[in-house]
Amino acid sequence: MSKERRRVVLLATTNPAKVAKLTWALDGLGLSLRTLRDLSPALEPSETGATHEENAAIKAAHWSRLEGCLAIASDGGVRIPALGERWNALQTRRAVGEHTSDEERIQRLLELMRLYRGEERRVRWTEALAVAEAGRTLASWQADGDEGYLAEGFDPTRRRIPGFWVASLFHYPQYGKCYAELSPEELAQVDTSWRALKERVQAWFRARPM
């Protein structure tokens, strides 16, 4: 693969929130970034991994094979211990709906949690990244974020992040806000999973001959 071609990296997602995070994670590396919106429609892979890291690797490998360039993918989810087997962070759509809007998913999760209070609403976010080329995973990482609590209600007039519906419910008591409302300074304190992943992926790309 030519040097010029290797500098192209595909952001293997159509989710606008994930595109923004992946772009941020790769900032300053001098890469030419493309997204799936730049390409012809194609079937997405089945996310059959046993961890978020495995799912990220499945997606990155799939799109790198189809498009013939480096691809980076992410996979994440919120762990909700109180719900037990009724909630799987790897398969949230089974619990809140496959073809539903962000607001519908918010309301369905609120309904699932309606009997829980206080510490029972404690949750944690986990995020993973993977880089692949020609269908082969080259590197992958997984990191846990800070803990928070699921809010007991939802105000549709407050700021939301399209494509990241959980951000409207993931509440940080120390700020009195949900993730979607945090300032950049506050995000820098609590977004520990993405911060750790950015450090790792930046180090990997800087060590890789281009």
pLDDT value at position 38?
A: 78
Question: How would you classify the pairing of strands 8-11 and 70-79?
Answer: parallel
The residue from 27, 38, 75, 155 that is catalytic is 75
Closest CA to 110 of 55, 178, 161, 14: 178
* Distance between CA atoms of residues 99 and 91, nearest Å: 13
Domains identified in the chain, total number: 1
Domain range for 138 is 3-207
Q: Is 144 a catalytic site residue?
A: no
Q: What angle do CA 155, 160, 163 make, to 5 degrees?
A: 130
Q: Which amino acid is at 147?
A: E
Q: What angle do CA 84, 87, 93 make, to 5 degrees?
A: 175
pTM: predicted TM-score of the whole model, two decimal places: 0.90
CATH of the domain at 184: 3.90.950.10
The tens-digit pLDDT sequence of the chain (210 residues) is 444 444 899 999 999 999 999 999 999 999 999 998 877 667 888 888 999 999 999 999 999 999 999 999 999 999 999 999 899 888 876 667 667 888 999 999 999 999 999 999 999 999 999 999 999 999 999 999 989 999 999 998 889 999 899 999 999 999 999 999 999 999 999 999 999 999 999 999 999 876
